[in-house]
Structure 1
Amino acid sequence: MKITQRTVSLMIMFIFLFVVGSIIAVRTVAYLEAGFELKGFLVEVITYVIALTGWLTLFIYSYLKGDFKDIEGPKYELLEKEEKIIEAEKKAGMY
């Protein structure tokens, strides 16, 4: 099986969904066992669902924008920019 960036990003998304779903399930059982009001439980579940939707939307947007295609590129760009800044400071006599 070939592991691509798409496979890795999908696995991360599924793990995230599993963790949040597990948290919701555990909290549901805790609320039902403790006998709390259903209103408080619904507020918490709705909050989790809204947060999950937001994070999932950001993840999908980043994936479609291509942020996961070249993971190593930004660090090299940063190093190149740093070298240019150091050269410019040396020419200006600041370094």
Structure 2
Amino acid sequence: MRITQKTVALLILFIFIFVVGTIIATRTVAYLEAGMAGAQLKGFLVEVIAYIIALTGWLFLFIYSYLKGDFKDIEGPKYDILELEEKIIKAEKEGGKY
């Protein structure tokens, strides 16, 4: 696996988005903490933490897929399926199914 400038730029972009999102969530919590009771705040914090954990998981999955090369040839699988279908039809014709 080769790390290119595009890969580094993409990682920096996602890290920047994640940091900005975290700052926004932190400020929102601070804002809501001033006007919320303890039980309401705890429920809200659970939601925010769950969101951040889910976002982190999706971010890592996307980065892993990108680095693995899953997004390099997005048109190839449909042509593979069409070629496979032609082979199946040909085999069925030879076998006397048609």
Alpha-carbon distance between aligned partners in 2 of 1:61 and 1:31, rounded to the nearest angstrom: 35
Which has the larger Rg?
2
The one-character-per-residue Cα deviations of 1:30-53 (angstroms, maximum 9, x if unpaired) are 955973542111100110011101
CA contact (8 A) 2:65 2:71 kept: yes
Q: CA deviation at 1:74?
A: 1.0
What is the RMSD of the two structures over their aligned residues, measured on CA atoms? 3.3
TM-score, normalisation: structure 2: 0.62
TM-score, normalisation: structure 1: 0.64
- Matched residue of 1:57: which SS? helix
Cα gap change, 1:52 to 1:94, in 2 (>3 Å): same
Q: Provide structure 1 residue ranges, at least 5 long, that are not aligned to the other structure.
A: 1-5
Tell whether 2:86 aligns with 1:83.
yes
**Alignment-derived partner of residue 3 in structure 2:** none
**Alignment-derived partner of residue 62 in structure 2:** 59
Alpha-carbon distance between aligned partners in 2 of 1:49 and 1:87, rounded to the nearest angstrom: 51
- Matched residue of 1:70: which SS? coil
**Percent identity of the aligned residues?**
68
Structure 1 runs of 4+ with >4 Å offset: 27-34
Tell whether 2:36 aligns with 1:35.
yes
Alpha-carbon distance between aligned partners in 2 of 1:29 and 1:88, rounded to the nearest angstrom: 67
Q: How many residues align?
A: 84
- Deviates further, 29-38 or 54-63: 29-38
Alpha-carbon distance between aligned partners in 2 of 1:28 and 1:39, rounded to the nearest angstrom: 10
From 46, 50, 75, the equivalent of 1:47 is 50
